[in-house]
């Protein structure tokens, strides 16, 4: 069983101030490469560590573009065609075989004031409600089962205010595996030494 992990995408509709390239074209090429690698290696899902979006709320037109780029709208259209009789169950199963879900964590850029309580008001929450994004919790894993008999649990530690205080170290840790293999994704600052007041972080952690 394979998964493909890609870093903070920071999807946004406008180019950063100092970018001189065709920003949208560059991002599109990156996503095409990720999807092509997923197809080539037949991964079960894409894993992302948070900050999939660059801000809490993006306009609906751009959100629609994001969904289309990852092939999610194609799956919805095929399901509709099944309902209208244009496609059969076998057609739908064939179409679904090439789709790979996105599983990950909530990043600080996707929240208002870095507060997890604001999550229901965000664009990422809408993507999760649609079934486009899957955001497990530490105690609510997503389990992938392999035909050979083993399982892989995916969990996440989502960003929140004061998350990187040393008292919150448990967010980063897996005390007990929830499947044969366990992948835990966290969005935060975990350093191998104390960085002082440079930025909030958990320093000198032994994990």
What is the pLDDT of the chain when averaged over all its residues? Answer: 90
- Tokens of residue 198, six digits: 């440079």
pLDDT at 203 over 80: no
Cβ count within 10 A of residue 111: 23
pTM: 0.88
| 67 CB burial (10 A radius; 0-12, 13-18, 19+) | middle
For the stretch 64-114, pLDDT in tens is 999 999 988 888 888 899 999 998 999 888 888 888 999 999 999 999 998
């Amino acid at each position: 069983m394979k998964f493909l992990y890609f870093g903070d995408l920071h999807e946004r509709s406008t180019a950063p101030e100092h970018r001189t390239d065709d920003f949208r074209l560059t991002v599109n090429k990156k996503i095409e490469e990720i999807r092509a690698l997923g197809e080539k290696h037949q991964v079960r899902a894409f894993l992302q560590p948070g900050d999939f979006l660059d801000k809490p709320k993006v306009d609906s037109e751009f959100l629609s573009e994001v969904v289309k780029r990852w092939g999610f709208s194609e799956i919805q259209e095929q399901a509709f065609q099944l309902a209208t009789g244009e496609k059969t169950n076998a057609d739908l199963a064939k179409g679904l075989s090439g789709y790979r879900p996105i599983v990950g964590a909530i990043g600080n850029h996707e929240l208002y004031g870095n507060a997890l309580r604001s999550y229901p008001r965000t664009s990422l929450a809408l993507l999760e409600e649609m079934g486009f994004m899957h955001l497990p919790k530490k105690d609510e894993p997503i389990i992938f089962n392999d035909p050979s008999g083993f399982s892989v649990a995916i969990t996440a530690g989502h960003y929140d205010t004061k998350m990187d205080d040393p008292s919150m170290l448990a967010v980063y840790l897996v005390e007990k595996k929830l499947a044969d293999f366990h992948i835990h994704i966290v969005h935060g600052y975990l350093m191998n030494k104390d960085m002082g007041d440079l930025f909030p972080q958990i320093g000198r952690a032994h994990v």
